Amino acid sequence: MASSLASCITQFSLLLFFFISFSNAQLPSSTSRPASIVFELDRDPLTLQYMIKINQGTPRADIKLTLDLGGKLPWLRCHKGYMSSSYRPVKCKSPQCSLASKPVSCVSCNDTKLKTTQCHNNACRIYTSNPVTQSISSGELISDVVTVKSEDVYTIDDGYIISPDMEFSKPGPIVTPRRFTFGCATASNGLRGLAKGAAGVAGIGRSSGLSLVSQFSAAFGLSRIFALELYRSSGTIYFGGGFYVTLNYMMGVIYKRCLTYTPLLINQRRREEYFIDVRSVMIHSKTVLISKKLLSINKETGVGGTKIDMRIPYTMLETSIYRAFVKDILAF
């Protein structure tokens, strides 16, 4: 058991699988049916935020977005305009707008707050959230074409392999959804606190019909699943299932032994975010004495519980839990 655990630790990675149930987003579909959609991630050395690079627009351009687990939708800062011949404003009475804004609100370019080069009357008005500063910016919903790299799955069927019919992934074709919907924020300071080079935020919240997970699922008929493989300076995000280990067979065996599963909890007050059911904290097999109420989610306020978050690169504890934890560490 100890050697198995050591093998897990030496991989220096975190693999998270999110099995999510979303409302059906009425978004255009594509004839391509890849096994999954794959993006490589870069980690900013200063903020330690993970960034996804999306190829979109006409002409095509790579745009970096900071990943936000609790974000409702992907958004860009557009206070100086958005340059693409294929983009379209999303109408305020469209199905996409009802997914992005409740109640539905329409843009009026007479509004002094929206007098920018990026303004269309009767477009869908939205409000974007900066996950670092918690600031809110107004803007409008737009759509554009996005080119992505897919991944197919193949099977190894060889009598010399310990486990025949083992599935592995291989690079698939480059595919283009018809339309990809995202927010266009008009505030000039909307990127404050984000990683250098980030043009906005990629929201992958669990209950939104416009999150990256929902949109790729609707566009390609994929499962509403995503996985994150996070390393110290890079990573990978997979949308829609598939086999997640791509290095070699033995690595696949190691990961299968290392994976630990736990259900995700729904916080009715913060439905976009991901919570798990932590019931105790232990140090060298000794349980830390803490209030169990702090580990559960208050159904009325949404306070409490244990949230998985990518905004900060370390674990945060409630003050009394932290003090008890430190006390037991020092006493050991």
Q: Write the pLDDT tens digit of every residue in 74-112.
A: 999 887 778 888 989 999 989 999 988 777 888 888 765
CB burial class (10 A; 0-12, 13-18, 19+) of residue 265? Answer: middle
Q: How confident is the model at residue 25 (pLDDT cuts 50, 70, 90)?
A: very low
What are the E-state strand segments in the chain?
Answer: 14-19, 36-43, 50-56, 61-68, 75-77, 88-89, 125-129, 136-144, 146-156, 166-175, 180-185, 200-203, 225-230, 234-239, 264-265, 274-276, 282-283, 286-287, 306-308
Give the model confidence (pLDDT) of 281-298 as tens digits: 999 889 999 998 999 999
The amino acid that residue 1 corresponds to is M
- Give the residue, 5 or 52, on which the prediction is more confident: 52
Question: Residue 147: helix, strand or coil by DSSP?
Answer: strand
pLDDT at 6: 40
CA distances from 27 to 37, 220, 229, 239, 269 (A): 17, 10, 27, 16, 26
Is the pLDDT confidence value at 245 over 80?
no
pLDDT at 193: 92
Average pLDDT value for residue range 137-162 = 68
Give the model confidence (pLDDT) of 177-214 as tens digits: 678 999 998 877 889 999 999 999 999 998 888 999 99
- The sign of the torsion formed by the CA atoms of 223, 226, 229, 233 equals positive
> What average pLDDT does the structure give for the chain?
79
Say which residues have a Cβ less than 8 Å from residue 191's Cβ, sequence separation at least 6: 77, 130, 198, 199, 200
User: Which residue in 101, 272, 94, 93 sits closest to 183, CA to CA?
Assistant: 101
Q: How confident is the model at residue 120 (pLDDT cuts 50, 70, 90)?
A: confident
Is the pLDDT confidence value at 241 over 50?
yes
End-to-end CA distance of the chain: 23
What are the residue ranges of CATH 2.40.70.10 in the chain?
2-258
pLDDT at 242: 60
Paired residues of 238 in beta bridges: 38, 227
What percent of the chain is modeled with pLDDT above 90?
Answer: 41
Question: Which CATH fold would you assign to the domain 2-258?
Answer: Cathepsin D, subunit A; domain 1 (2.40.70)
Cβ neighbour number for residue 288 with a 10 Å cutoff = 15
pLDDT at 243: 58
Q: 134-143, 215-224, 226-235, 247-256: which range is least confident on average?
A: 247-256
Helix axes 2-9, 249-258, angle to 10 degrees: 110
* Single pTM value for the model: 0.80
pLDDT at 149: 77
Cβ neighbour number for residue 239 with a 10 Å cutoff = 28
pLDDT at 145: 93
